[in-house]
Structure 1
C-alpha cells in the first residue's frame, strides 16, 4: 500500500509571500478569497517531478477554481485543462490554452454542445453508449475521441464525491466493454484515449493503480491509442494529522506500471492526470469578519459575514475546513460554532477551539481554494466576494466584489 504524508495543519499563516493577510483584508474588504499563487505552481511542479519518468500531461480540473488569472498561472506552470462544461472550455481558451491542451468531459449534455466543442478543436471524452453512437454517426473516424470507463471502484472520502462505483452516472461500465467495441467497429470510431476517474479525497493511494490497471487491460482492444488518462483525486490535508497522498510514491508506482504497460502495448503513450483540488485547495483562504458573538446556555456562536453561499462544502458533504482567528491569535481559547449569515442551517465549523473571538475579528477559513468561489451563489440575494491572487510578493485583485447591479443585470422588470 502506498504511503501518505502526515502533514501538520495547525499552521496559522498571518502572511502570504510576506504580505499580511490583515492588510489584504483591510484593502479589499471581507468576505474575501485570497490565493497563494506560489503554492499552486509548487503543486503542479510536485506532480511533474513525481511522474518525471513518463511522458506526462497534467489537465487541471477547472471546476475546482476557474478564474482566468488562475488558469493563466496554471498554464504557465506547464499544465493543460480538464473541462466539464462548454463554458469551462471557453474560459480555458480565453486564458490562452490551445484547443489541443483541453480535454472536454461532459456528462449528459445535449449533442449540440458536443458539436460546438468539436468545432472548437478540443478532445472529446465520450461517457455513454448513446453518445458514442451519435458521435460515430456524425463524425465516423474523422474526429478522434476518448472513452470514459467506469471501473466499478468505490473510492473517495464521501459517497457524493465517489464517481467510479457501479451505481455512478459517470462513464461507461467496464461490463459493457463488448458493446463499446461493437459501436467502435460499427461506427468506425477513432479512439485516441481511455479515461477513468474514481473519485476525490481517495484515502488509499493504491486506488490510482487499480483504476490504471483497468485501463491497461482494456487498452489492448484499441490499437490507435495515444494516451491513458487516470483522472485525479489526490488527497490534501484538512486538519492537523490529516493524511495526504504521497505524490512522489504514487508517481513512482504508477509510472513504473505505465511503462511496463507501454512495452506490452508496443507503443509509447502519454499519461494524463486531472488534478483539481490538489493544485488549488491549500492555496486558498476565505477571510471573513465576525459580526456577532452569540452565547446560549450550551453553545457560543461566532456569526460571520459569509456562509454556505460562499463555501458550500461543509453543508453539502460535511467537509472539514480549519478555522483560526487572525485578529487575536494569542487570546485564551474557547469553543465556538462558526456560522454564516444565510437563512438556513449554515454551519461552517462546529465545536472549534479558537482564540477568543470578538466582534470585528477577522477569521481565516483554510482550504478555500477548491470549490469555494466555483460553488458560490447568490442565495438570499447575497453578493459574491472579490478574489485576490498573491503572486511574486504582491496582491492582485483578480475579481471585483459583486454589486447590486450585478445581481439585477439580467433581470427584466415588467410593468405590473
Structure 2
C-alpha cells in the first residue's frame, strides 16, 4: 500500500503527509510513484498471455511527471486532443504507441499525429473518416485507423461515464458498423488496422466487458466475410477502483475473464486504462479553515473546493476523507465544503470525523479526474502537484499565483 499510517500519521510511501502539506501548502495533490508503477505493471503482467499494448488514458491525469514514469515502463498512451499529444511527446512518450481517440479531432491535430507517426486513430463518424482522408492525402501519408464501435452494452455505471449505449454520443452505432467499414475501405489514404470499443468507466464487474467483446467479435467475423481483416482489437478502459465499498475485479480477474476469447481471436490487444492506474495513486490534501457547527448540520470549511476537485459535485462521487493526523477532538458528523459561492461546492457530506481548526484532511482516490478537471472559478489558483518516491517529495507542478490568472487578459483602449 502506498498510502499507509505510520504511528498514526498518514504517509505517502515514506513521506509524512503532514510535513508535505506544511512544505508545499494546501490544497495539494500528492501522488505516489510506486503506486503508478504497480497499477500499470499489474495490468501489463495480467495480459502477458497475448501480444498487447497498454495505452494509458492521459485524460485521467496528464501531469508530465506522471506520463514520464509510465513511458519509462513502456506504456503507450490514449489521447483525445492535440494538447494531450503534445504532452505525451514532451514527456518522452513513444508516438508509435499512441492511439488517438475522441470525437472532434481537428485538422491540425490529425496532421501532427500523422507527422509523428502514431499507432492508430480511433474514428467515430463518417465525417471524421473524410477529414482524416483529406489530411493524409495532403501529406501523402497513409493513416492507420480503427472504428470505435458502439456495442449497445450497459456498463451499469453513472450515466455521465457510460459510453457504450446507443443513446450515447460515442462510437459508430452497431447497425451501421459494416457499411462504415466498407466506406473506410474505399478511401485510398486510410489503412484499416483494427476495431475499438469503450463502454464506460468505473465498471465493477467483468460481465459487461465480456458482453462487449462477444458483440465486437461478431462484427469482426462479418467484416472477414466482406474481405476486411484486422490486426488488432482495442478494448478501451473502464476497469473500476475502490472509492468506498466497491469490489472491482483485479487486473488478473479482468484479464482472465477475457483470456479464452482473446486467445482464440488471435489479434493484438490494445487497452486504454486510466482511472485504475491513477485514481488510488493520489490524494488531495486540504487544510481546515473554519468549523461551522449549526443546529441542523455541521459544516467544516476547507481550503480546497469544487474548482480543485469537481467529482463530488459533478458525478455525486463519494470519496473517502480522513484526517492526516489523529487528534483528541470529539467525533461529529460533518459536511466538508469549500468557500466557493455554490451550494454544490462540497467534497463530502455526513462524514464522521474528529476535527480541529488546524486539521489536515486527505481526500482519497484523487489521482484520477482531480487536477485535470480543476478550474479557476471564483479566481482561485489551481493547486500544486507533488510526487513522492520513497522518502522524497518532488514538486511536479507549481501552485498558480493569483496574478498569473489574468496575465493574458487585456483592458479596452483608453478613450
| TM-score using structure 2 length | 0.92
CA displacement at 1:116 relative to structure 2: 3.0
CA displacement at 1:137 relative to structure 2: 5.0
Aligned residue in 1 for 2:173: 173
Aligned residue in 2 for 1:314: 312
Alignment partner of 1:47 is 2:51:
no
CA displacement at 1:132 relative to structure 2: 1.7
Give the Cα separation in 1 of the matches to 2:156 and 2:109: 29
1:7-406 to structure 2, matched below 5 A, reads: 14-122=10-118, 123-136=120-133, 139=136, 142-188=142-188, 189-220=190-221, 221=223, 223-239=228-244, 241-262=245-266, 269-329=267-327, 331-345=329-343, 346-355=345-354, 357-406=355-404
Contact 1:190 1:224 in 2 (8 A): no
Give the Cα separation in 2 of the matches to 1:156 and 1:281: 19
Instruction: Extract unaligned runs of 5+ from structure 1.
Output: 1-6, 263-268
Give the Cα separation in 1 of the matches to 2:262 and 2:211: 12
CA displacement at 1:10 relative to structure 2: 11
CA displacement at 1:191 relative to structure 2: 0.6
Give the Cα separation in 1 of the matches to 2:311 and 2:136: 40
Give the Cα separation in 2 of the matches to 1:326 and 1:178: 55
Q: Check 1:163–1:90 CA distance in 2 against 1; reply closer, same or farther (3 A cut).
A: same
SS in 2 for 1:38: helix
Q: Check 1:85–1:347 CA distance in 2 against 1; reply closer, same or farther (3 A cut).
A: same
SS in 2 for 1:178: helix
Q: Deviations over 1:292-315 (max 9, x none)?
A: 000111111010001110000000
Contact 1:133 1:183 in 2 (8 A): no
Contact 1:137 1:187 in 2 (8 A): no
SS in 2 for 1:53: coil
CA displacement at 1:109 relative to structure 2: 3.4
Q: Check 1:323–1:10 CA distance in 2 against 1; reply closer, same or farther (3 A cut).
A: farther
Q: Deviations over 1:121-150 (max 9, x none)?
A: 222111112212343455478222121111
SS in 1 for 2:319: coil
Aligned residue in 2 for 1:266: none
How many residue pairs were aligned? 401
CA displacement at 1:392 relative to structure 2: 3.5
Q: Check 1:304–1:225 CA distance in 2 against 1; reply closer, same or farther (3 A cut).
A: same
Contact 1:156 1:201 in 2 (8 A): no
CA displacement at 1:201 relative to structure 2: 1.0
Contact 2:4 2:13 in 1 (8 A): no
